[in-house]
Chain A
Amino acid sequence: DIQMTQSPSTLSASVGDRVTITCRASQSISSWLAWYQQKPGKAPRLLIYKASSLESGVPSRFSGSGSGTEFTLTISSLQPDDFATYYCQQYDSVWTFGQGTKVEIK
């Protein structure tokens, strides 16, 4: 099975900061990678699919990049609504998720 390693597990940042989260796959998954935002008690919200495609309705401050085994999610200017937990997911084969990154207020 493909393992997904996400880092960091926790990130402290301020409003306006540029934030980057990294996800590494244990083998190549081409571009079959998605990023989600999740808030307590809510379902995951799809932000990015196919590594770099922005889901409809998602603000343009979110962007994704990478292919093969290395991927990043970038928030260009952190907003108050962005404090949440973020997950990466590979869907090249049976799905696997990263461990999550909690973005906290600094």
Chain B
Amino acid sequence: EVQLVESGGGLVQPGGSLRLSCAASGFTFSSYWMSWVRQAPGKGLEWVANIKQDGSEIYYVDSVKGRFTISRDNAKNSLYLQMNSLRAEDTAVYYCAGNEMATIVWGQGTLVTVSS
């Protein structure tokens, strides 16, 4: 069964840091572009970052550049998102997702709340 399982979410104070992880199983992780997508409460979906299969290309939405770092470990079938200098507006459910050509897979999400 194709599965992506996110972890690492929680409550953090403004200015704090959090590291999200995403464990992949049931497919060839190293063949997929991987992405993080977030959804603020009551809002739509927003792409955050993505990383090429071998990590050689990485892209971010402007609002997280310089604060968030996406990375992957193909040997561990895992994707990560290091989030620093967190702001209230980063509060959202964060989804791990990936695509290989046309196929797209998604996780179930992990909630990040930035609040004092």
Contacts and interface: CB of A to CB of B under 8 A. Distances in A.
Interface of A: 32, 34, 36, 43-44, 46, 49-50, 53, 87, 89, 91, 94-100
A87 B50 CA distance: 19
A53 B102 contact: yes
A49 B44 contact: no
Nearest to B95: A43
Nearest to A53: B102
Nearest to B93: A43
Interface in B40-60: 44-47, 50, 59
Contacts of B108: 43
Contacts of B46: 97
Given A43-B95, A43-B109, A91-B99, A49 B47 contact: no
23 contacts: A34-B104, A43-B106, A43-B108, A43-B109, A44-B45, A44-B95, A49-B102, A53-B102, A87-B44, A87-B45, A89-B45, A91-B99, A94-B47, A94-B50, A94-B61, A95-B35, A95-B37, A95-B50, A97-B37, A97-B46, A97-B47, A99-B44, A100-B45
**B contact patch SS:** strand
Interface pairs A-B: 7 shortest CB-CB: A95-B47, A50-B102, A97-B45, A94-B59, A100-B44, A43-B108, A49-B102
> Which one of B45, B59, B109 has the highest number of Cβ atoms from chain A below 10 Å of its Cβ?
B45
Nearest to B105: A46
Nearest to B37: A95
Contacts of A98: 44
A49 B104 contact: yes
B63 to A, nearest CB: 12
Contacts of A94: 47, 50, 59, 61
B9 interface: no
B100 to A, nearest CB: 11
A45 to B, nearest CB: 8
A91 B44 contact: no
